[in-house]
Amino acid sequence: MTNGAAAPQQIHPLKAGLEDVIVSTSEICFIDGHKGRLLYRGYDVDDLVEHSTFEEVVYLLWHGRLPSRKELDVHVKALASTANRRLPSKVLSMLKLFPKKTTPMEILRTGVSALSAFDPDSNDNSREATLRKALRLTAQMPTLVAAWERIRKGKAPVSPNPRLNLAGNFLYMLTGKKPTPLAAKTFDVALILHADHEFNASTFAARVTAGTLSDLHSAIVSGIGTLKGPLHGGANEQVMLMVEKIKDPAKAEAWIRKLLAERGRVMGFGHRVYRVADPRAKHLRRLASELGEQVGNTSYVKILDTIASVMSSEKHMFANVDLYSGAAYAAMGISTDQFTPIFALSRVTGWAAHVLEQHGNNRLIRPRSEYTGPTDAKYVPLSER
């Protein structure tokens, strides 16, 4: 050490970005990055996509097992009830005060924080209260996101419809029209696929917050702020901006080869854990393709397929969850800057499961840094500087 710093008490060597560092045990989610497998509570997401619903997956994540028919009915009813989905009128009034240019992700981050002030359990961190808060937030967040979409376009928010599931109701509140069965199904599958993903950056942020014994809403706000970045959940929005720049499938190959030659980063590719294709991407590709055909726009998927083929052959890099999701949302007429908030509407359920797990066996999360700054700086009075 040349600067005279004392050698740090180094228990583990420094790992940039905490790559492959195990910080906790967890029973919620397992990723096999070499085989491309993703399990929630032991169940393969491929099976959940085929047989389950988002509501059932939420129960599985929070309670650690699949529900009985009766348990599922109660859970579905609670998630759909107007009492849980409705926003407090003061939160709705608050939304009308924001400049119209405020992004949906900023609204979501601020709105979740505001909802905490109105939550009857805000000061109770017991498991039961955290479950109640998780249920309310999961029900309220789609209303918040949809209400802002309407308000910023100068339209009146649409009240939630308790007869529709979370996916169908969100699309209904966004447009005022009942979605097609394919759109509702696609959205439900997208919600299943985004619900949890082990110790990704936003979940880790949520757990760090929960680890100080802070409350669920605070942990979710940490998660939303972390998800927003383009290296994480914000990538789905960046992918669509790239597709819109390319426009014509015939130009996609030259465009992407040029970006690679300039050593650019291609959004929607690469992953810290997967060394093979992300198992979620194939489902999203299929659904984006089906929806694209239904609405007569196949060019987005064609552009993405061309990019995927070049990335695979040139970089041995594969699509992650963010590559095709936006093409499906765009086919539903959803604005590009809503893609990352949509991710959060699903991931809130995984974050909540991790907050419950963290609180259930808590130890403050507090790593060290290896100090590389000076250690003998002499204070110079302001008048002498």
Contact positions vs ligand ACO (CB under 6 A): 17, 200, 231-233, 235, 265-272, 320-322
Give CA–CA dist 301/288, Å, rounded.
Answer: 7
End-to-end CA distance of the chain: 28
Q: How far is the CB of 13 from ligand ACO (least distance, A)?
A: 17
Q: How far is the CB of 198 from ligand ACO (least distance, A)?
A: 11
Q: How far is the CB of 235 from ligand ACO (least distance, A)?
A: 3
Which residue lies nearest ligand ACO, judged by its C-beta?
270
Q: How far is the CB of 35 from ligand ACO (least distance, A)?
A: 18
Contact at 8 Å (CB) between 330 and 336? yes
User: Would you say 129 or 259 has its CB closer to ligand ACO?
Assistant: 259
User: Would you say 19 or 384 has its CB closer to ligand ACO?
Assistant: 19
User: Would you say 137 or 321 has its CB closer to ligand ACO?
Assistant: 321
Question: What order do you get walking across the sheet with 37-40 strand by strand?
Answer: 29-32, 37-40, 43-44
Specify which residues 39 forms β-bridges with: 30, 44
Q: Which of 74, 81, 75 is nearest to 61 (CA)?
A: 75
Give CA–CA dist 171/175, Å, rounded.
Answer: 6
Give CA–CA dist 325/323, Å, rounded.
Answer: 6
Say whether 124 is catalytic: no
Cα–Cα distance list, 184 to 8, 123, 165, 190, 349 (Å): 55, 36, 9, 10, 19
Contact at 8 Å (CB) between 189 and 287? yes
Q: Active-site residue among 119, 196, 215, 322? A: 322
Contact at 8 Å (CB) between 215 and 122? yes
42: its two tokens: 């032991």
346: its two tokens: 């699903």
Phi, psi (5° rounding) for residue 37? -115, 145
Q: How far is the CB of 104 from ligand ACO (least distance, A)?
A: 17
Q: How far is the CB of 125 from ligand ACO (least distance, A)?
A: 28
248: its two tokens: 């014509």
Q: How far is the CB of 230 from ligand ACO (least distance, A)?
A: 6
Give CA–CA dist 196/27, Å, rounded.
Answer: 12
Contact at 8 Å (CB) between 118 and 198? no
Please report, as a single letter, which amino acid is at residue 3: N
User: Would you say 196 or 322 has its CB closer to ligand ACO?
Assistant: 322
Which DSSP string corresponds to 23-49? ----SSEEEETTTTEEEETTEEHHHHH
User: Would you say 257 or 265 has its CB closer to ligand ACO?
Assistant: 265
User: Would you say 235 or 331 has its CB closer to ligand ACO?
Assistant: 235
Say whether 232 is catalytic: no
Q: Active-site residue among 271, 283, 354, 359? A: 271
User: Would you say 287 or 321 has its CB closer to ligand ACO?
Assistant: 321
Give CA–CA dist 38/44, Å, rounded.
Answer: 6
Active site residues: 271, 322
